[in-house]
């Protein structure tokens, strides 16, 4: 009985304390002692990721390049991507494994001025953590070569 009384007393004290804190908050009293949360901005690759919703993850990838020529695409060199996009002048996009859905956003350092591009194509050899970047000429694709890069991938929030 004594113990139960004690517990009840503590509970009442806690309730009163809670009421005082809630009351102060309602009255607009600042209980944070003037602490202001620091805002941080990300400016990786000159692109402000903070302006976008959704989360980005960084994945080390083997990044190759291709163009629409028969050498690069074989009998798929019809100028249409795997997601049925008709390639137009100035297009920038990547082929990626099907685990990265079409239109998934990527930032590949050194491609498209390190601005976001989208997954729009597939490739027979592009599996797992491999990317194939589209270029408009075979020479440009050859010049890219093979690079191992930290690619930023925007997680699908759908
Ligand atoms: Zn080519």
Residue 63: the pLDDT is 98
Q: What share of the chain is helix, strand, coil (3-state, %, to 5)?
A: 30, 25, 45
Residue 156: the pLDDT is 67
Q: What is the rounded average pLDDT for all residues in the chain?
A: 78
Give the distance (Å) from ligand 1 centre to CA of residue 106.
22
Nearest to 111 by CA among 73, 138, 74, 145: 145
Give the distance (Å) from ligand 1 centre to CA of residue 115.
23
Ligand 1 (ion): residues with CB under 5 Å are 67, 69, 71-72, 138
Q: 3-class DSSP state for residue 44?
A: helix
CA distance 115 to 47: 7
Residues 66-101 have pLDDT tens digits of 999 999 998 888 899 999 999 999 999 999 999 999
Give the distance (Å) from ligand 1 centre to CA of residue 138.
4
CATH architecture of residue range(s) 44-154: Beta Barrel (2.40)
Cut 0.85: pTM above it: no
Query: Is the distance from CB of 152 to CB of 58 less than 8 angstroms?
Result: yes
């Amino acid at each position: 009985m004594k113990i139960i009384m004690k517990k009840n007393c503590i509970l009442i004290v806690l309730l009163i304390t809670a009421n005082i804190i809630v009351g102060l908050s309602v009255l607009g009293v600042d209980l944070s002692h003037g602490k202001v949360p620091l805002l941080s901005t990300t400016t990786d690759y000159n692109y402000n990721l903070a302006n976008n919703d959704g989360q980005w993850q960084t994945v080390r990838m083997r990044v190759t390049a291709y163009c629409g020529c028969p050498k690069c695409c074989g009998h798929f060199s019809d100028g249409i991507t795997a997601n049925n996009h008709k390639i137009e002048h100035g297009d920038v996009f990547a082929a990626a494994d099907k685990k990265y859905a079409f239109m998934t956003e990527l930032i590949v350092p050194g491609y498209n001025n390190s601005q976001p591009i989208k997954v729009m194509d597939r490739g027979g050899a592009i599996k797992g953590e491999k990317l194939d970047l589209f270029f408009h000429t075979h020479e440009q694709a050859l010049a890219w070569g093979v690079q191992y890069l930290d690619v930023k991938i925007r997680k699908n929030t759908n």
